[in-house]
């Protein structure tokens, strides 16, 4: 099974700034997914990018995937206080189960 490693572990920015989080993984993938978790709640699926895609957008989110470097990044543009959460990547090799890392804790200050 796959596990992604998010970097940095923690990120603190001001409202309006962009936030970039990175994910590295070790073996080949079928797709890679990003999730958000607000404090004390369940995870919410944000975006899925397939191995044959290089970039994907959803609202203020932009995800890139570089399979040659086995890495992905999540960019949140014009951050808001409500974006404060932990963010997890989940690389998938096509098996059913996802393995999650420790995540990146993002704090957006008003």
Q: Which residues bind other proteins (CB under 8 A)?
A: 30-31, 33, 35, 40-45, 48, 50, 88, 92-103
| In the complex, minimum distance from the CB of residue 48 to other proteins, in angstroms, rounded to a whole number | 6
Sheet strands side by side (includes 71-76): 5-7, 19-24, 71-76, 61-66, 55-58
Strands 10-14 and 5-7: unpaired
Query: With respect to other proteins, which residue has the nearer C-beta, 19 or 89?
Result: 89
Query: With respect to other proteins, which residue has the nearer C-beta, 84 or 92?
Result: 92
Query: With respect to other proteins, which residue has the nearer C-beta, 78 or 99?
Result: 99
The CA-to-CA distance between both ends of the chain, in Å, stands at: 39
Measured from the Cβ of residue 90, the count of other Cβ atoms closer than 10 Å reads 23
| In the complex, minimum distance from the CB of residue 1 to other proteins, in angstroms, rounded to a whole number | 8
Query: With respect to other proteins, which residue has the nearer C-beta, 100 or 107?
Result: 100
| In the complex, minimum distance from the CB of residue 21 to other proteins, in angstroms, rounded to a whole number | 14
Q: What are phi and psi of 22, to 5 degrees?
A: -120, 155
Q: How is residue 48 written in tokens?
A: 């899925």
């Amino acid at each position: 099974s796959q596990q992604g490693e998010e970097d940095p572990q923690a990120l603190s920015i001001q409202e309006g700034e962009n936030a970039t989080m990175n994910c590295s993984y070790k073996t080949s993938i079928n797709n890679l997914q990003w999730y958000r978790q607000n404090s004390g709640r369940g995870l919410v699926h944000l975006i899925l990018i397939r191995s044959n895609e290089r970039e994907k957008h959803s609202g203020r989110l932009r995800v890139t995937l570089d399979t040659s470097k086995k890495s992905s990044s999540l960019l949140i543009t014009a951050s808001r206080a409500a974006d404060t959460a932990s963010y997890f990547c989940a690389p998938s090799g096509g098996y059913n189960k996802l393995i999650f890392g420790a995540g990146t804790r993002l704090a957006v200050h008003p």
